[in-house]
Amino acid sequence: MSDHDDVPSLTPRLPWWVARPSDDRLFIVYARAYAVATILRLTLPDAMQTSWLPATVTQSVGALVLAATGGLLGWVLCASGGLGAIAFLEDQLTQSAYLLACALAAIGCFLGPASGRGDRMGRGLPQTVRVLTVLVYLLAGFHKLNADFLNPAVSCANAGLRALATHGQRSPLLPEMVLSWPHWPKLFLAAELGLPWLVLWRPRPAVVALAAFHLPLTIIFAPSFAITMMTGWICLLGERGITAVASTLRKKWPTIVGVGLIPAIASTWTFFPARTASDPDWRVKEALLWCVFVALVAAWWQHRDVFADRDPWRGPNPARSVTGIFALAFCLHGLTPYLGLGFHRTGAMLSNLRIDRGCENHLLIPASIRLADPYIVIEEIRFAPERAVPGFEEDVETRLWSMAALWRARAHWCAKHPEPLPIAATHGGRRYDIANLCAPDGWPWSEPLLPHHRRFQVNLTARCPEACIH
C-alpha cells in the first residue's frame, strides 16, 4: 500500500467512497493542492454568475472532500461540476479541461482491485498528471507555430507587452522600444516549446523555470492559470521534491515570504494600478506565485542533489493504462482545432491560431485536413427599422459566428424583434439566403446539441491577420 507509515490515515471509519484511498504523501499533497486550485478557479468572473451556482457548489463541496480525505466522492463532484460548466455554461478555459482530465484520471485510478488502489492513487495518478502537465505546455507551444504569432504587429506576445506600455504602467519603467522589440514572439515561442523538454529531462529545475515563465503571464493575462498548473508542478517535484520544499519552508518561511512580497508589492505599485481596486484577488494570486517562485529557488539551492535527480519519471507506473488513455485523449482533443471540431480548452488561447476558411495560419498543419467548417459568415443582415443601434448590423457582418453562437444570438434577436429577419450567410463554401431567420423553418442548419458548450471563439472577425484576441 504505502511506504509512509508515519503519515496516519485520517479516515479509517469512513465509507469507501469518502475514505482516503492512499496514505502516500505525494497523493495527499496533490489532492489538497487540487482542492485549492479548484476553489481559486471558481473566483474568476465567469464563475461569479448565478447560472454557475450548481456547478460552483458541486465543485466546492468536492474540493472540501479532497482537502479532507482525497476520497472518490471529491473527485466525482469536481469532475461533475467541471464537466457541467464546460458543457452547459460556456467554460472555455484550458485550465478547466486540465482539472477535469486530472479528476477523471483520479477516478480511473480508483477503479480496479482494492488491493492495488493505494499504489494506483499514490504512484499512478501523479505519473498521469505529469504527462498531462507536459501536454498542456507542449500543445500551447505547438499552437503558436503560426504566422500570426510570429508577426510582431499582431502577435499576442507583443500585445501583452504593449498593454503594459499603454495602460499597464504607473510610470514608463519599461520603454516602448523594449516592449515593441520584434523578436519577443520568437523568444516566447522558444521558451514555451523548450519547457516541456526540460520537464522531461530535469523535472525539478523545470518547475522553477515554469514558475518564472508564469510570472509575466500572471501579471498581464491569466490570474489563475499558474495556480492550476501548480498542481502538476507538485507531481513533477515528486515526493523527494516536495519534502525538500517543505523542509526549506519550515526553516526559511519568514525570509521566503518577505523576499517574495518585495517584487509582488513592486508589481502591484508599477503594473496595472487600477487592478488593486477592481481585482484584488488577482493581486493575491500574483503574490502567491512570487512566494512560490522564491520558495522553489531556495529549495533548489539548499537541495541541489535532490533537484538534479530525474526520479519523478522513474519507477513503475501501476496505472499505465489510465496514463495512456488520458494522454491520448488529451492530445487528440488538443488537436481538434485543425480538424475544425473545436478551439477552446485546447491550449490555443493567446496563440493567434486561425482555423477559419481563408485565414488558416499554422506553419505545419495544412488546412486540407479540416473535417468541418467551424464558422458561419453573415454577408448581410437587415433588422427592422429602429430595432438595432446604428452600426450593429455592420458588427454582425464583420464577426465570425460558430453554429452555437449564432443559435444563441438568433434566440435573443427573435425574442426582441418579432419582425422578419432576413440574412445572407456563407458556411462550408455554400451561400444561404434566408428570408426570415426567426421563422420556424428559418434555421437551415442542424440545431446545436449543446448550445452553451463553447467550442469556438465568439469575438473573431473575418479579417486576417487580426490582432491578438484573449
Count of H-run helices and E-run strands, the chain? 17, 4
Tens digit of pLDDT for each residue in 230-239? 999 999 999 9
Using pLDDT thresholds of 50, 70 and 90, give the confidence band for residue 289. Answer: very high
Q: With respect to residue 174, please indicate whether it lies within any of the assigned structural domains.
A: no
- pLDDT at position 252 is 96
Q: With respect to residue 66, please indicate whether it lies within any of the assigned structural domains.
A: yes
State the chain's mean pLDDT as an integer.
93
Compute the average pLDDT of residues 107-112.
96
Look at residues 172, 178, 175 and name the one whose alpha carbon lies nearest to residue 270: 172
Mark which of 63, 91, 119 sits at the end of a domain. 91
Does residue 133 have a pLDDT over 80?
yes
Q: With respect to residue 356, please indicate whether it lies within any of the assigned structural domains.
A: no
- pLDDT at position 369 is 96
Q: With respect to residue 110, please indicate whether it lies within any of the assigned structural domains.
A: no
3-class SS shares of the chain: helix, strand, coil, % to 5 = 60, 5, 35
| Torsion sign, CA atoms 445, 451, 457, 459 | positive
- pLDDT at position 189 is 97
Cα 433 from Cα 431, distance rounded (Å): 7
pTM of the model: 0.94
- pLDDT at position 469 is 84
Mark which of 91, 117, 150 sits at the end of a domain. 91
Mark which of 91, 117, 137 sits at the end of a domain. 91
Using pLDDT thresholds of 50, 70 and 90, give the confidence band for residue 171. Answer: low
Does residue 32 have a pLDDT over 70?
yes
Indicate the burial class of 39 (C-beta count within 10 angstroms; 0-12, 13-18, 19 or more).
middle
Q: What radius of gyration, in Å, describes the C-alpha atoms of the chain?
A: 24
- pLDDT at position 374 is 96
Q: With respect to residue 99, please indicate whether it lies within any of the assigned structural domains.
A: no
Does residue 192 have a pLDDT over 60?
yes
Tens digit of pLDDT for each residue in 401-413? 999 999 999 999 9
Domain count, the chain: 2
Q: With respect to residue 286, please indicate whether it lies within any of the assigned structural domains.
A: no
Q: Which residue has the cell 503560426?
A: 146
Q: With respect to residue 324, please indicate whether it lies within any of the assigned structural domains.
A: no
Residue-number span of the structural domain to which 447 is assigned:
376-454
- pLDDT at position 6 is 47
For residue 169, the Cα-to-chain-centroid distance in whole angstroms is 26
Tens digit of pLDDT for each residue in 352-393? 999 999 999 999 999 999 999 999 999 999 998 878 888 999
Q: With respect to residue 385, please indicate whether it lies within any of the assigned structural domains.
A: yes
Residues facing 378 on adjacent strands:
425
